[in-house]
Structure 1
Amino acid sequence: MEKMSVSCEDYLEAIVVLGGSGRHPVRSVDVAESLDVSKASVSKALSILKERGLVDQPPYGDITLTEEGLEYGTWVLDRHRLLFKFMTETLGIDSATADEEACKMEHAMSDESFAKWSAFVNGLERD
């Protein structure tokens, strides 16, 4: 999967969290509120995501993720959730800090490093 910008990954993740699957469209205004950005910013990001074939949106319509968009957005969200869980449950970091830092880390870690870290964390849970 070709990596995208941090911003585009955040938009995909937000759409997944809001339930933007093929059967459950979400509104641009909800994405804007979720990310605390302007509707114009959402519109610009959606243009990029549409070009990449990750979202569908008819003119002035609601947003749905394509199969590839749902897969990519879910991948980003899963990374975030695993990092957040480790930081809060294992390290005892407060939720607000862990959420903010997990968001930064989910984008910064290479796939290879994340896979090794994830395997390590999963090994800890089995012990």
Structure 2
Amino acid sequence: MNPPDNFYTLKGYSLLEQTKITSSMEDYLEMICRLHHDEHPIRIKELAECLHVKPSSASKMAGNLKSQGLVEFEKYGTVSLTEDGMQLGEYLLFRHEVLHRFFCYINQNTDELEQVEKVEHFMNPQTVYNIQKWMNKFT
């Protein structure tokens, strides 16, 4: 039996994607966008508390997001979204909501946060939009 040549490890698929942001960066950007909707300045301490990380980790990640042009951030200041950061952040919130609705529907419960957090980074936009279309037919 000849092994198929189109299979990779998870790491291999990640390397093929050549994405500019990591899963962790997506988590931070999603939370920044969520907090941005509350229309108040976002401080590193608040971001760290929401993600259950140390402020130093949140500060470092804000710097990484800044270097990608997704947020504005000065040390000891507030974090705000750039236009690109807002656009990507809104998609990340949309993806999260679609997947949460989907998993709650198929598992017949009201809280699938952990499962969504574990899989959302591996879903491509086409699949997310198709799940949304499917959900709109059945819910």
Match in the other structure for 2:79: 63
The one-letter code of the counterpart of 1:12 is: L
Q: Report the CA distance between 1:20 and its aligned residue.
A: 6.3
Q: How many residues align?
A: 121
| Residues 102 and 131, structure 2, Cα contact 8 Å, conserved in 1 | no
Normalising to structure 2: TM-score of the pair?
0.77
| Residues 62 and 71, structure 2, Cα contact 8 Å, conserved in 1 | yes
Q: Distance in 2 between matches of 1:45 and 1:104?
A: 19
Match in the other structure for 1:39: 55
Of 15, 26, 29, the residue aligned with 2:32 is: 15
Higher RCO, 1 vs 2 (CA within 8 Å, ≥6 residues apart): 1
| Residues 28 and 61, structure 2, Cα contact 8 Å, conserved in 1 | yes
Q: Aligned ranges for residues 1-127 of structure 1 at < 5 Å? A: 4-19=21-36, 24-95=40-111, 98-125=112-139
Query: For the aligned residues, what is the CA RMSD?
Result: 2.0
Q: Percent identity?
A: 35
Q: Distance in 2 between matches of 1:25 and 1:57?
A: 11
User: Structure 1 stretches of 5 or more lacking a match?
Assistant: none
* Bigger Rg, which one: 2
Q: Report the CA distance between 1:90 and its aligned residue.
A: 4.8
* Cα distance change on mapping 1:55 and 1:76 into 2, 3 Å: same
Q: Report the CA distance between 1:108 and its aligned residue.
A: 1.1
| Residues 20 and 65, structure 1, Cα contact 8 Å, conserved in 2 | no
Q: CA offsets per residue over residues 56-109 of structure 1, 9 Å max, x none? A: 0123111111111111111111111111122224531341xx011112222111
Q: Report the CA distance between 1:41 and its aligned residue.
A: 0.9
In the TM superposition, structure 1's runs of 4+ consecutive aligned residues that sit over 6 Å from their partners are: none
